[in-house]
Structure 1
Amino acid sequence: MFAVERNRIIKNFLRENRQVEVHALSSMLNVSEVTIRRDLEKLERDGILTRTHGGAVLREIEESVQVEKNPDVSQDSREIASVALNMIEDGDVIMLTGGDICDCIARRIVEKNGITVLTNYIPVATEIARQPANRVVLLGGDVADDGRSLYGSLSVANLRRFHVNRLFAEVEGIDENLEVSVASHEKAELIEAAMESAEEKILLCLGDNFNRNAFFRLGSLKLADKVITNPSISDEYKHQIFVRNIQLHTSINVFEGRV
């Protein structure tokens, strides 16, 4: 990962958390603490932060214009995250993509031990880096326009070096033909690579995102082993997923296809 990418990630981390620790950034970005200290020195010269013993804090002038954090995620997202958490076993290696549901899962992983999380989503990496019982690998790549996600050829190449037990991929649309779509072609490319590396492929989709199409087609729902959503989806969708031998999990029940 180039210095300019690290600096953007560190600045976003600071805007969300107001302080950083050298050892946490070193682990999250997979570089030495010496490299992180050099990055912090540069950002201090740029007026972004003030270095402290073992880390840095956001400067007041920067703090006054920081972007507000996202509002609290929906109850539907939290319910899906709770179901997903029950599928994760101590010692697992998992992949979390970007989105509110994956952010919720990351916050709950503190309840587990020995989890290794691969992610391209900076808020997830930030959260896992605070959990001493678990570890995170932040995939490198190009910083997306949202300043929170990493995509591109470097992300994909790094991802393909790993084997994961479970992939949790948040998607933005599942239409009436059970075709899955996501917000961008970069996200689709990353999920496709993650599916090649995962033993178990689990899609996360809000109930409200059924019967709709997002920007870029990922493929058939049959790509997944399991789908987690809210119980509000229609009986017709439940039946269509059932006959395709895909497990459908909601916050209150499970529909397991047996054709």
Structure 2
Amino acid sequence: MKREKIYVDNRRDKILELVQSNPNVRVNELADKLSVSLITIRRDLQYLEEQKLLKRTHGGAVLLKSNTVVEPDEPDEVSYYRRLIAKYAATLVEDGDSLFINTSSNALQMLSYVAASNVTAITNNGKVINKEFGPGINVILTGGELRYPKDAMVGDYAIRNLSTVFAKKAFVGCSGITPDSGMMTEIASEVSVNEVMVNHSTEAVYVMADHTKIGKRSSFISCSIEKVKYLITDELAPEDILDEFRSKGVIVYQVKKEEI
């Protein structure tokens, strides 16, 4: 596994070098030069874009930091904590679990770290198609109207499909969460989908929110705080607000540097 990771990291470094030397390089050219499939290159580009190292374009990519190749393992503080949150959330998944995953990039990221087997993830996040995860993960897409740029599947079709499914656990991200208003999003069309995922979770709802989202209000409420069993955040989250969550029965876990 470690050798495979080194190979993948080296390939992604090479992609950054190729994009830097030729901003007009195409996806098929990258695949040919690196002797891998088109879907592998697209997954690599998706990962590098999530790390804010490049931006995908129609048929290619451009660097976000001109003339500089930034190492993928040097994220900023928020990205660092989000990764720790994703890693911790993955440890809560057990063999045979069924999961709801919403359009949160952090919730989607956790699938890369799940070590359990025979896990079914039901998601309306279209970016899962280009995501790498272990062989123990089975993915079901809700379908629905695809909304750019989050590749969110929303609308009546997605809601009807979700309404026929119950999952043990929901791992959901948000734009903000407060003790009085609950979990919120900036995208109105995602509210109904989030509501179904929360209401159809038979065991627990886990909200994944880094410190920048704790106490922050967004435009639309996805669910009340009474629906949230666990809040996974980080050590920089304000303690006074976390205490308010605890007073409402929410179990709070804070990840710490070098902990996971």
* Structure 2 partner of 1:75: 80
- Answer yes or no: is the 8 Å Cα contact 1:182–1:188 preserved in 2: yes
- Give the counterpart of 2:198 among 195, 216, 221: 195
Answer yes or no: is 1:236 the counterpart of 2:253. Answer: no
- Pick closer, same or farther for the CA change 1:187–1:62 going to 2, 3 Å: closer
Q: What is the aligned counterpart of 1:63 among 59, 65, 73?
A: 59
Look up the equivalent residue of 2:59 and give its one-letter code: E
Gaps of 5+ in 2: 1-26, 32-36, 41-56, 65-71
The answer to whether the aligner puts 1:169 opposite 2:172 as a matched pair is yes
1:109-188 aligned at under 5 Å gives the runs: 109=114, 111-127=115-131, 131-146=134-149, 148-175=151-178, 177-188=180-191
Q: Alpha-carbon deviation of 1:178?
A: 4.8
Distance 1:68 1:132, change over 3 A: farther
Superposed displacement of residue 247, structure 1: 0.5
Q: Which residue of 2 aligns with 1:56?
A: none
SS at match of 1:229: strand
Give RMSD over aligned pairs: 2.8
Q: Is the 8 A contact 1:77 1:100 kept in 2?
A: no
Amino-acid identity (%) = 16
Contact 2:195 2:223 in 1 (8 A): no
1:208 maps to 212
Q: Distance in 1 between matches of 2:151 and 2:215?
A: 27
TM-score by length of 2: 0.67
The answer to whether the Cα contact below 8 Å between 1:119 and 1:125 also exists between their aligned partners in 2 is no
1:93 aligns with 2:112: no
Partners in 1 of 2:59 and 2:83 — Cα distance?
Answer: 29
CA drift at 1:218: 2.3
How far 1:62 moved relative to its partner?
Answer: 5.5
Q: TM-score, normalised by structure 1?
A: 0.67
TM-fit CA distance, 1:201: 1.1
Cα distance change on mapping 1:222 and 1:74 into 2, 3 Å: same
Equivalenced residue count is: 196
SS of corresponding position for 1:107: helix
Stretches of structure 1 lacking an aligned partner (at least 5 in a row): 1-13, 22-60, 253-259
Aligned counterpart in structure 1 of residue 231 of structure 2, from 222, 227, 239: 227
Cα deviation code 1:20-49 (max 9, x no counterpart):
49xxxxxxxxxxxxxxxxxxxxxxxxxxxx
* Cα drift, residue 67 of structure 1: 7.5
Q: 1:243: how far off?
A: 1.3
